[in-house]
Amino acid sequence: MANGAITLDGNQVTLRVIGTSKATIDADGTFAVDGKAVVTTHAERSLLAQYNQSVRSVHETGLAMGKAGVRMAAKAVVASTSSAPGNAGETAEAGAGQMQQLSLDICKAQASIKTVQDQLATQLASFKPYASIVSSSDVADCESDAKD
C-alpha cells in the first residue's frame, strides 16, 4: 500500500519512509522504530491499533476483491457459453457493482488511515516522519477511481 511504504506481515504493519528508520505497529498498538519500542500513552496506543486495523482492512478487502473477480470471471465464462446471451451482461453488471463497493470500502479504510495518521503526527513525535505516507490526494484519487 502507498507504493510499498506500508506493508503488512501477519498482524504487523511496517512503515517505510526514505531516509528514516522503519517503524512497526502491532495489532495491539505497540509502536517500534528501528526495532526499539516507543513509549506511548493509552490514547496513542489506541490510535496506533486503529491504524493497524485500517491497514488490515485494506488488505482483507483487497483479497475479497480478488476472490470476487475470480468468481465474476468464472460466471462470465459460463454465461457466455450458455444459450442465453443476455446472462453475460447481467453477470458483468452485478460483478461490477460488487467491485465498486469493495473499492469504496478500501477508500474508506484509506481515509481512516489518513485521519489516524494526522492525529498521531500531532500527538506522538516519533510518528511524525511517517505522517505523510497517505496524503489527502491519495484518498481523493481512490474515491474518484472507485466511482469510475
**Which residue has 481515509 as its cell numbers?**
111
104, part of any domain: yes
Three-state helix/strand/coil letters over 55-98: HHHHHHHHHHHHHHHHHHHHHHHHHHHCCCCHHHHHHHHHHHHH
Assess contact for 40 and 48: CB atoms under 8 A.
yes
Per-residue pLDDT of the chain (148 residues; tens, 9 = 90+): 667 799 999 999 999 999 999 999 999 999 999 999 999 999 999 999 999 999 999 989 888 788 877 877 777 777 777 765 555 566 556 667 778 888 888 899 999 999 999 999 999 999 999 999 999 999 999 888 877 7
For the chain, the 3-state helix, strand and coil shares in percent, each to the nearest 5, are: 65, 10, 25
36, part of any domain: yes
Domain that holds residue 31: 6-147
47, part of any domain: yes
